[in-house]
Each structure stands twice: as structure tokens, then as C-alpha cells.
């Protein structure tokens, strides 16, 4: 890893730690940066018996810290998932939601709420995860083990499944009680408001495993960027490796969607941003993509909690707005470069 790449990684690592702590100061209760440090590291000041200290502890450890960690995990997971898809399909517009995983998860949650009336708890995550797995299964059934056109089949199937699941979701919403529709729509737009320590575990494990797998197989991923023929010449079973990476990306996205809901554009935008600073295919590129995705989602979550007084904006609304502006600016910039 080159010196400038190491500096980028260390800077983003420091910025990640700073963002994790700084984000805890934002909220309805006024908690300073120093208070956050003192309560995260109680050995610095010793144990306190003050009621205000207990109150701050509850806010930090039961509300803000799980939510902030989930935002960071979501950013890392979606960014890495997008990077996997863009690498193995060699499609710069590939996105974690391209294969219908998000729409499948949304359909699972909508059915659960509409039929059983359950609007929170572990069953919501389970329903979203099952819906995502159904989408993955359909993709695998369509693609199968076919050697030719496997990627194209999965891409087309993903688009078709997205519209299919979305149509079923719209129909279910139309037939559902109006009071339940509000909760469903808010979840579909993305939110970390119901995050707790118990539902962080699955996304955290999925994200850590995915990052580790990508670091281990980074040489194979680099070879995939050269094309199928070149990768095959280097001894890689292209179709098998691509299928494994697609499954990994889908499962990673499913575990995140099950908790955070539909959050778009992160997996599409972050890998492009990192490519401006670091060469694609290096270890630094993988680590920076993960860290930048986490930092981005932390501050998007802060915006969702602070932009409106006593209200919370859905995460997906903010990411879609930022992502749209980013890509319009990118297209405008490239147009001027080509002229």
C-alpha cells in the first residue's frame, strides 16, 4: 500500500471514529462532546451517582449509540455491496437494489404488517430477511448454472423482480388499513429509529464477513475487472466466482434492509467517490470504500434527525436527493471534459 493511500486510510479511520462520537451529541437532549467522551469512557471520571449522569447514560447507550453504529454498519455494507456488484458485473451503474433485494424485503414487511398487524420487533427484521432471500432464490433459479449470459440474465431478472414485488407491495398497501400504511411507508423509505442492540448483530456480522472476504479475494476481484477471458487465463472460475460474489452481495444487502429499510444510492455513489482518490482494485480502495460509506451514513442519519424540529426525515429521501445531485453533477463534469 503506497504512502498516500495509507494516509487516506488513516485519515478516514480517524474521521470515522470522530463521526461516531460527534453524532452522539445530536438529538433532542443537549449532550456536549465532552459529556459523550466521559460517559463512553467512565474510567476517565469515575462512576457518578447523579441522576443527570444516569439519564445521559440511558440516552447514549440505549438510543443514540445503537442507532449511530447501525448507520455506520449500513453505510459500510451498502458501499461494499455496490463495489462487489460493480466489479463482478463490470457495470458502473450496478447497485445493491438492482437485483430486487430491497423490493423483496419491502414486500415481506408489508405482508407481515397487513396480515398480522405487527409493526415493530424482531418479526419485522425476519420478514424483511425472508423477502430478500426469496428474491435471491428467484435470481438463482433464473440464472442457474448457465455459462453464457449469466450476468445479463440476473440483471434482467432483478429488474423484472423489482417491478413484480413493487406491484404486489402497492396492491397490498391499497388493501391495507390506512393506519398501518403510514408505518409501512416510513419503513420503506429507510429509518434507524427502531434500532436496538439486538437487531444490530446480524448486519454487523454480515458486514465484517463481507469485508474480510473481499480483502482475501481482492486479487480475483482485480482480475474480474480485466474481463472474463483474462480472468479465466489467470486460473479463475469466472462464473462460479461471480455467482458467489453476487450471493454475498445480496445476503449483505438483505441483512441491512431487514433493519434499516430501503436506502438507495449509497452503494452506487460511494465507490465512484473513492475512485477519484485511489486506484480501483487495491486494498486501500476496499478499505476506503467501507469507511467512506460508514461516514456518509452517519451524517445522513444526523441530518434526518436534525433538519426538521420534532420530526424525522426518512433516510432514503436524503440519500436519494444527494445521490441524484451527485450523478447529475458527475454527468455534467464528464460532458465538459469530453468537449
Is pLDDT above 80 for 245? yes
Establish how many alpha carbons lie within 13 A of residue 9's alpha carbon, considering only the half-sphere containing its beta carbon.
13
Q: Domains along the chain?
A: 3-338 (1.10.3470.10)
Is pLDDT above 70 for 241? yes
| DSSP state, residue 42 | T
From residue 108, give the alpha-carbon distance in Å to each of 11, 32, 121: 40, 40, 14
Please report the pLDDT score of residue 20 as a whole number. Answer: 93
pLDDT, tens digit (0-9, with 9 covering 90-100), for 78-115: 999 989 988 888 777 778 877 787 788 888 888 887 87
Please give the residue that has the higher pLDDT: either 129 or 222.
222
CA 256 to chain centre: 6
pLDDT, tens digit (0-9, with 9 covering 90-100), for 32-86: 888 888 777 764 445 544 445 777 888 888 889 999 999 999 999 999 998 998 8
Please report the pLDDT score of residue 142 as a whole number. Answer: 76
DSSP secondary structure string for all residues of 69-84: HHHHHHHHHHHHHHHH
Enclosing H/E stretch for 117: none
- Averaged pLDDT score across all residues of the chain: 82
Please report the pLDDT score of residue 33 as a whole number. Answer: 86
Note whether 116 and 110 are within 8 A (CB): no
| DSSP state, residue 177 | -
Q: What is the pTM of this model?
A: 0.88
Q: Which of 94-98, 149-153, 311-315 has the lowest mean pLDDT?
A: 149-153
Buried (b) or exposed (e) across 104-118, using 16+ Cβ within 10 A? Answer: bbbbbbbbbbbeeee
CA 148 to chain centre: 30
Label residue 334 by pLDDT band (50, 70, 90). low
pLDDT, tens digit (0-9, with 9 covering 90-100), for 107-143: 888 888 787 776 666 777 778 778 888 887 887 787 6
Mean pLDDT of 7-13: 91
Mean pLDDT of 264-280: 87
Please report the pLDDT score of residue 1 as a whole number. Answer: 59
Amino acid at each position: 500500500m503506497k504512502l498516500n493511500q495509507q494516509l487516506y486510510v488513516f485519515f478516514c479511520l480517524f474521521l470515522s471514529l470522530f463521526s461516531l462520537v460527534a453524532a452522539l451529541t445530536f438529538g433532542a437532549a443537549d449532550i456536549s462532546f465532552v459529556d459523550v467522551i466521559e460517559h463512553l469512557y467512565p474510567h476517565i471520571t469515575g462512576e457518578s451517582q447523579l441522576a443527570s449522569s444516569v439519564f445521559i447514560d440511558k440516552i447514549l447507550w440505549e438510543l443514540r449509540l445503537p442507532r449511530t453504529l447501525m448507520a455506520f454498519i449500513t453505510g459500510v455494507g451498502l458501499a461494499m455491496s455496490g463495489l462487489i456488484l460493480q466489479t463482478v458485473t463490470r457495470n458502473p451503474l450496478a447497485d445493491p437494489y438492482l437485483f430486487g433485494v430491497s423490493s423483496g424485503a419491502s414486500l415481506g414487511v408489508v405482508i407481515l404488517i397487513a396480515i398480522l398487524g405487527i409493526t415493530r420487533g424482531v418479526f419485522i427484521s425476519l420478514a424483511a430477511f425472508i423477502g430478500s432471500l426469496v428474491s435471491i432464490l428467484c435470481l438463482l433459479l433464473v440464472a442457474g448454472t448457465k455459462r453464457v449470459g449469466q450476468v445479463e440474465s440476473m440483471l434482467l431478472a432483478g429488474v423484472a423482480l423489482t417491478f413484480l414485488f413493487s406491484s404486489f407491495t402497492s396492491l397490498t398497501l391499497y388493501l391495507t388499513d390506512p393506519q398501518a400504511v403510514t408505518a409501512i411507508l416510513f419503513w420503506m423509505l429507510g429509518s434507524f429509529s427502531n434500532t436496538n442492540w439486538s437487531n444490530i448483530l446480524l448486519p454487523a456480522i454480515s458486514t465484517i464477513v463481507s469485508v474480510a472476504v473481499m480483502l482475501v479475494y481482492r486479487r480475483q476481484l482485480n482480475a474480474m475487472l480485466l474481463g472474463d477471458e483474462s480472468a479465466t487465463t489467470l486460473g479463475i472460475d469466472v462464473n462460479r466466482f461471480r455467482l458467489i460474489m453476487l450471493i454475498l452481495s445480496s445476503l449483505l444487502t438483505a441483512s441491512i434492509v431487514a433493519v434499516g429499510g430501503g436506502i438507495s444510492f449509497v452503494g452506487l455513489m460511494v465507490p465512484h467517490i473513492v475512485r477519484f482518490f485511489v486506484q480501483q482494485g487495491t486494498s486501500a480502495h476496499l478499505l476506503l470504500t467501507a469507511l467512506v460509506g460508514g461516514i456518509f451514513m452517519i451524517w445522513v442519519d444526523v441530518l434526518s434527525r436534525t433538519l426538521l424540529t420534532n420530526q424525522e426525515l426518512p433516510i432514503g429521501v436524503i440519500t436519494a436527493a444527494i445521490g441524484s445531485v451527485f450523478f447529475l453533477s458527475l454527468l455534467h463534469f464528464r460532458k465538459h471534459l469530453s468537449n
